[in-house]
Amino acid sequence: MELKNDYLKASLLSRRSLLSVILLIGAVTGGNLWIHSGDPALGYARYTGYGFSIDYSQQMTFWESGLGGGPPSQSAGTVQFTYQDGTLEQYGVIWVKPGSMSTYIDQTAAGALDYVFASIDMSGTQISERGETRTMTREDRDIVYQTFGVEDSGFTIPGLIGAWYSEEAEKFMILYLIYVPDISQIEVASPELEQRWLGYLDAIEYQPTS
Amino acid sequence: MTTQVPKSDVRLSSRLQFIDFTRGLVMMIMAWDHVSGFWMAVHGGLEGIYPYRNPALDLTLFLARFVSHWCAPTFVFLSGVSLALSVHRRLSRGDNQMDISLHIIKRGLLLLVFEVLLVAPAFDLPYLYFGVIATIGVSLIIFSFGRRLPIWIILAASLIIILNHQWLDLGFIPMDVAWGHYLRRILHEPGFTWPPYFALYPVIPWVGVMGLGWVFGTFLQSSERERIMELKLPLAATGVTSIALFFLVRWMNGYGNLVRRWSNGILDWLYVSKYPPSIAFLLWTLGGACLFMALGLLIEERDWSRRNISGAIHTFGRVPLFFYLTHLWLYRLRLPGTPVPFYLDLWQTLSLWAVGLVVLWVLCARYERLKRRYPRFLQYI
């Protein structure tokens, strides 16, 4: 491209200034990428505690408690994130130390699922159906998971739950998700349910607990 | 620091028709977005403010909204182009820097007034609503003095803003007091949570888009017309590359997205953050703008600029502010605060859009003639 304007030739397209632009942009953007490499994305916040962290949208309300009431502890607890505006999405992480579960429950991931469902039942929430238990291996973790339905105002809201043991956190971890893209059709399970659940599963970071 | 534009520089005395074409084209698409927002029961929007796409939108309605994404970035980018062309033309005419700056400031302030008095009420939004016209107004005011920086600094600053704004932390400005809340909304964090302090087009990312337009406009001003006509291929290549990078960024699903891609479905690939504009959003839309400009150059080269539809598109592009202010109320067809009396389906809305464009063509052509008669009186619109 031939330029008539000496001003442009001397500034924008001179090799030196173009190199300066590239270096400046590379330094600032590269520096930011490095500094913020572990940060949550814009509009997201990070929940950290009890041996794990997970990012959630700042549009979501967040709530934590002990399993079956009271405050959460290193032994057991739950954190739940909810978004509702035409779409309903609720996901939560439950953690249980193996010794905290009743001795008559298998100290396995499947047992942890049973323990969580029993706790939910005691809290008054009605679980109407539990799907077939399936297993998968994700990042060297053996995960047991199944679909479930929550009874609410005569509707059955579909969800997905899975449990695994975290060596880092030394706990059973349970992740559940209820996702209804259109709350006017609250009983219709989304084909994206499993994909979103896997997305949250991959988003969990683990830290050793003291 | 001053820009040393030679006084003998008289090139581009006539308009660059491909710029008018591109602007006119996106304004027509924008009119579609607004008419569907005014009259259809279900309409997309607030992408990015909502972390999820509207579940009520099927593929057709989603795409009907998605095409409108091209409008705001192209509009803001071309505002920068026009500003550069206008400033350099005035400098070559011998106008002094202070007069030029004052002219730009007046235009910026006038846009803010239009936003309050004409635009916000058309959308039934509070008068403090900060929309695309307001962000162009504030960006113009910034450029009234920022334009005097060396162009490579403007280019670097614009790209740094676009590529890095997602990390900007304005946490030092309090969100629980009205002024702080409004300031953060206007500067960087669009939202609708505290009436009347609503904002959709924060200045910080958008001023970078205008900066890119300024750089491109300066480049055009400094090039021979025949050389500009040779930009078709580079523009098309830039557009295709930009759109390819959009898919790369969406595939990587991390930096540059702001809204996560939750699945491999087409709607999730295309649901990108417009508020604020993510890098993915700008790659798609500014890539599209490059393709539109290449098409505009082809039309200019073949001398199709005066043919029926092409002629109308060019007319819209020559009087963009008049088109913008007029189309809102023409399509709205009701007083502020009045709810929609009934909803139209997709085909009825398309028909209304098409009829409205014919009316707008007549109005814009008449206004253009009027503006030629009274150029000084109508210089800001």
**Ranked by mean pLDDT, which of A149-158, B12-21, B88-97, B125-134 comes out on top?**
B125-134
- Please provide residue A170's backbone torsions phi and psi, each rounded to the nearest 5 degrees: 55, 45
Residue A85 pLDDT grade (very low, low, confident, very high; cuts 50, 70, 90): confident
Is residue A1 a part of any domain in this protein? no
Share of residues in chain A with pLDDT > 90 (%): 34
Rounded Cα distance between B252 and B262, Å, is: 12
CA–CA distances in Å: residue B156 to residues A19, A91, B174, B242: 11, 42, 30, 18
Q: How far apart are CA B375 and CA A199, in angstroms?
A: 58
Q: Do A61 and A157 share a domain, yes or no?
A: yes
pLDDT at A9 over 60: no
Residues A100 and A175 in one domain: yes
Q: Is there a single domain that holds both residue A65 and residue A24? A: no
CA neighbours closer than 13 Å in the CB half-sphere of residue B81: 21
Percent of chain A's residues with pLDDT above 70: 90
Whether residue B152 lies within 8 A of chain A, CB to CB, comes out as yes
Q: Which residue has the higher pLDDT, B351 or A183?
A: B351
Is the model more confident about A186 or about A114? A114
Count the Cβ atoms, other than its own, within 10 Å of residue B145: 12
Query: Residue B341: which pLDDT band, with cuts at 50, 70 and 90?
Result: very high
Q: Cα(first)–Cα(last) distance of chain A, in Å?
A: 64
Helix (H), strand (E) at residue A64: strand A61-65
The secondary structure element, H or E, covering residue B8 is none
Instruction: Express the helix, strand and coil content of chain A in percent, nearest 5 each.
Output: 25, 40, 35
| CA B321 to the chain's CA centroid | 11
Q: Are residues A101 and A10 in the same domain?
A: no
Local confidence band at A210 (pLDDT 50, 70, 90 cut-offs) = low
Q: Return the closest-CA partner of residue A144 out of A166, A161, A158.
A: A161
Look up residue B351 and give its DSSP letter: H
Domain-embedded: residue A131:
yes
Beta carbons within 8 Å of A207's beta carbon, 6+ residues apart = A48, A51, A52, A53, A168, A169
| Percent helix, strand and coil across chain B, each to the nearest 5 | 65, 0, 30
What 3-state DSSP class applies to B25?
helix
Out of A66-70, A119-123, B354-358, the most confident range is: B354-358
Q: What band does B11 get if pLDDT is binned at 50, 70 and 90?
A: very low
Among B residues 131-150, those touching chain A with beta carbons less than 8 Å apart: 150
* Cβ B156 vs Cβ A20: under 8 Å: yes
Q: Which residues of B touch A83 (CB under 8 A)?
A: 51-52
Q: What is the pLDDT of residue A99?
A: 80
Residue B50 DSSP code: B
B303-313 as b/e: b if 16+ CB within 10 A: ebbeeeebebb
- Would you call A25 an interface residue with chain B, using a CB distance cutoff of 8 Å? yes
For residues A23 and A100, membership in a common domain is answered with no
Together in a domain, A186 and A121: yes
With respect to residue A174, please indicate whether it lies within any of the assigned structural domains.
Answer: yes
- B-chain residues near A3 (CB < 8 A): 219, 222-223
Longest dimension (CA), chain A: 86
B10 pLDDT exceeds 70? no
Greatest mean pLDDT among A6-20, B253-267, B351-365 lies in: B351-365
Contacts of B155 in chain A (CB under 8 A): 12, 21
Q: Give B-chain residues touching A11 at CB under 8 angstroms.
A: 150-152
Question: What integer pLDDT is reported at residue B13 of this predicted model?
Answer: 47
Give the mean pLDDT of chain B.
91
DSSP per-residue string spanning B208-225: HHHHHHHHHHHHHHTB-H
pLDDT given at position A125: 76
Q: What is the DSSP letter of A167?
A: T
Count Cβ–Cβ pairs < 8 Å, chain A vs chain B.
106
In terms of DSSP H, where are the helices of chain A?
6-10, 15-35, 109-122, 193-203
User: Which residues on A lie below 8 Å from B3 (Cβ)?
Assistant: 7
- In the predicted model, what is the mean pLDDT of residues B304-312? 83
User: What local confidence, expressed as pLDDT, does residue A42 receive?
Assistant: 67
Candidate from B50, B51, B218 with C-beta closest to A8: B218
Interface probe for A, chosen from B216, B222, B268, B279 (most Cβ of A below 10 Å), is B222
Q: Rounded to an integer, what distance in angstroms lies between the CA atom of residue B341 and that of residue B319?
A: 31
Above 70 in pLDDT, residue B259?
Answer: yes
> B264 or A1: whose pLDDT is higher?
B264
Measured from the Cβ of residue B186, the count of other Cβ atoms closer than 10 Å reads 21
User: For tokens 């182009």, what's the residue?
Assistant: B81
Q: Rounded mean pLDDT of B308-332? A: 94
Q: What is the pLDDT of residues B136-190, one digit of tens each?
A: 999 999 999 999 999 999 999 999 999 999 889 898 999 889 999 999 999 999 9
Task: Answer yes or no: do A181 and A148 share one domain.
Answer: yes
For residue B146, give every residue at least 6 positions away whose Cβ sits within 8 Å of its Cβ, in sequence order, or none.
B154
A202 and A136 within one domain: yes
Question: Cβ contact (<8 Å) for B222 and A4?
Answer: yes
Nearest alpha-carbon partner for B296 in B243, B219, B226, B232: B232
The tokens of A66 are what?
Answer: 């002990």
The CATH number of the domain holding residue A87 is 3.40.1000.10
What size, in residues, is chain B? 381
SS3 at position B4: coil
pTM for the full model? 0.84
Using a CB–CB cutoff of 8 Å, tell me whether B46 touches chain A.
no
What residues in A contact B265, CB-CB < 8 Å?
192
| Contact (CB, 8 A) for B77 and B64 | no
Provide the pLDDT for residue B304.
Answer: 81
- Report the number of distinct structural domains present in chain A: 2
Residue of A nearest to B166 (CA): A42
pLDDT value for B3:
43
How buried is A82 (Cβ within 10 angstroms: 0-12 exposed, 13-18 middle, 19+ buried)? middle
Q: Within this chain, do residues A135 and A71 fall inside the same structural domain, yes or no?
A: yes
DSSP letter (8 states) at residue B374: S
Q: What's the rounded Cα separation, in Å, for the pair A66 and A52?
A: 16
Q: Answer whether B222 sits within 8 Å of A7, measured CB to CB.
A: yes
Say whether B300 sits in a helix, a strand or coil: helix
Answer whether B341 touches A (CB < 8 Å): no
Q: A58 to chain B: nearest residue by CA?
A: B51
Residues A24, A67 within the same domain: no
- When comparing pLDDT for B52 and A195, which is higher? A195
Domain that holds residue A134: 44-206
Sheet strand arrangement including A205-206: A44-49, A52-57, A205-206
Q: Are residues A27 and A116 in the same domain?
A: no
* Spatial contact of A81 and A62, defined as CB atoms under 8 Å apart: yes
Tens digit of pLDDT for each residue in B223-236? 888 889 999 999 99
Q: Region B1-20: what's the mean pLDDT?
A: 58
What pLDDT does B6 receive?
Answer: 37
pLDDT band at residue B334 under the 50/70/90 scheme: very high
- pLDDT above 60 (res B261): yes
What is the structure's pLDDT at A13? 62
